[in-house]
Amino acid sequence: RRQTAPEPGGLEEIILNYQQSARNLIPTVAKSYALIFMGQTMWDMYGRFEGQRDSGDFSALPELHATSSCLKALCTWVTTAGIEVCRQSCGGQGYSLLSGLPSLYTNYVQNLTWEGDYTILCLQAARYLVKQLHAILAAHRGGRPQPELAPTVAYLAGTVSDDPFLDVSRQDYEFHDLLSFEVLDSIMAQRCLFVAGQALDNLEANARRLDAEPKIGEGAAWNASHVI
């Protein structure tokens, strides 16, 4: 699409040549590829589970449920937000049905809440992470062997490891370090571990606070810990 000529009578400029439009649209395109790869990985995970299930092994079910819950919520949110970014990038034409975007948004946005509500699915994934982290810490404090972790949450073991994901004391990181998959993976792992730790601390604090109140069950502590 082209819009607005830089000079009178000149050729209108391609939208992606505008810095602000490129800033909005290129990450949206990148996310669409990420969703494709995520979907393929999820399908492979389900295929492996089917093989285990047929032999009576359901050990991978919690990881499968948590991962699929999280991805369903994330994918629908990213897609809904991406459609709106594209619509806004079209300027006035974004309001027109001719662009196709208003109809696309209207037909898609329901996916956030049907066949799994966005909020509920996010909380189910968070509950799984917190339980896994709690099991690791309980084993460490009790001097027991670390529980076996599913591949997608193996990074949680970093909470009791002497080897940090990322040396935050370093002062010589440069921009090109952000192009390294290993560095990016370490940053994400450290960030996820920190947030999961915050959630667990919050849950345990609420459990202690509510424990003194009569007729208050475990669910109340979880409910009080939805937002950090």
91 and 107 fall within a common domain: yes
58 and 71 fall within a common domain: yes
> Do residues 131 and 63 touch, judged by C-beta distance below 8 A?
no
> Do residues 67 and 103 touch, judged by C-beta distance below 8 A?
no
155 and 101 fall within a common domain: no
State residue 48's pLDDT score: 92
Q: At 74, which helix (H) or strand (E)?
A: helix 61-89
Residue 1 belongs to a domain: no
How many helices (H) does the chain have, and how many strands (E)? 6, 0
Residue 113 CA to residue 59 CA, distance in Å, equals 28
Residue 228 belongs to a domain: no
Mean pLDDT of 2-11: 77
State residue 164's pLDDT score: 54
The question of whether 115 is a catalytic residue gets the answer yes
21 and 112 fall within a common domain: yes
110 and 42 fall within a common domain: yes
Please report which confidence band the pLDDT of residue 140 belongs to, taking 50, 70 and 90 as the band edges.
confident
Picking from 63, 83, 116, the residue at the C-terminal end of a domain is 116
From the list 7, 12, 63, 115, the catalytic residue is: 115
Residue 10 belongs to a domain: no
* Per-residue pLDDT at 216 exceeds 70: no
Residue 201 belongs to a domain: yes
Residue 157, judged by CB atoms within 10 A of its CB (0-12, 13-18, 19+), counts as middle
Residue 211 belongs to a domain: yes
Mean pLDDT of 194-212: 82
21 and 110 fall within a common domain: yes
State residue 162's pLDDT score: 61
98 and 130 fall within a common domain: no
State residue 77's pLDDT score: 94
69 and 127 fall within a common domain: no
Residue 204 CA to residue 196 CA, distance in Å, equals 12
Residue from 130, 56, 32 nearest 122 by CA = 130
Letter for the amino acid at 43?
W
> Do residues 149 and 157 touch, judged by C-beta distance below 8 A?
yes
> Do residues 160 and 136 touch, judged by C-beta distance below 8 A?
yes
Please report which confidence band the pLDDT of residue 165 belongs to, taking 50, 70 and 90 as the band edges.
low
Query: Between these two residues, 81 and 170, which has the higher pLDDT value?
Result: 81
Residue 5 belongs to a domain: no
189 and 175 fall within a common domain: yes
What is the chain's mean pLDDT, rounded? 84
Residue listed under structure tokens 């915050």: 198
Please report which confidence band the pLDDT of residue 92 belongs to, taking 50, 70 and 90 as the band edges.
confident
pTM of the predicted model as reported, rounded to 2 decimal places:
0.79
Domain containing 98 equals 15-116
Radius of gyration of the chain (CA): 23
111 and 125 fall within a common domain: no
Residue 9 belongs to a domain: no
DSSP labels, 141-207: HTTPPPPP--GGGGGGGGGG-SS-SS-TT-S---GGGGG-HHHHHHHHHHHHHHHHHHHHHHHHHHH
CATH (domain of 51): 1.20.140.10
> Do residues 108 and 80 touch, judged by C-beta distance below 8 A?
yes
